[in-house]
Amino acid sequence: MELEIQHNKDKKRFFTIVEEREAYLNYEFSGENTLNFNHTYVPFNLRGRSIAAQIVRYALEYARENNFKVIPSCSYVRVYIDKNKQFSDLVEE
């Protein structure tokens, strides 16, 4: 399932709407060039469809394209990066 993922800069959120429900990844800035990905949420009845994975991938690609480093405070983001090593260079040391 290909999702339309959006970025709401005012709310500091990457999100999508599936079956009229919102799934999202929240972040906050940690300095000028670092995004702290701190919370991922997918409604219970939508879990298991790779929705969170698609949102996290989109957010990481956004970070790369805009020269941001990331802090994976959210455990889901941390595990995603561990499984997708092509994003490990984005992690703030």
pTM score of the predicted model: 0.96
Strands 34-41 and 69-71, sheet pairing: parallel
Going from the C-alpha of 35 to that of each of 18, 45, 47, 72, the distances in angstroms are 25, 29, 25, 9
pLDDT digits (tens, 9 = 90+) for 1-32: 789 999 999 999 999 999 999 999 999 999 99
Please name which of 73, 85, 68 lies closest in space to residue 39, comparing C-alpha atoms. Answer: 73
pLDDT digits (tens, 9 = 90+) for 42-89: 999 999 999 999 999 999 999 999 999 999 999 999 999 999 999 999
Q: What is the CATH number of domain 6-90?
A: 3.40.630.30
Q: Domain extents for the chain?
A: 6-90
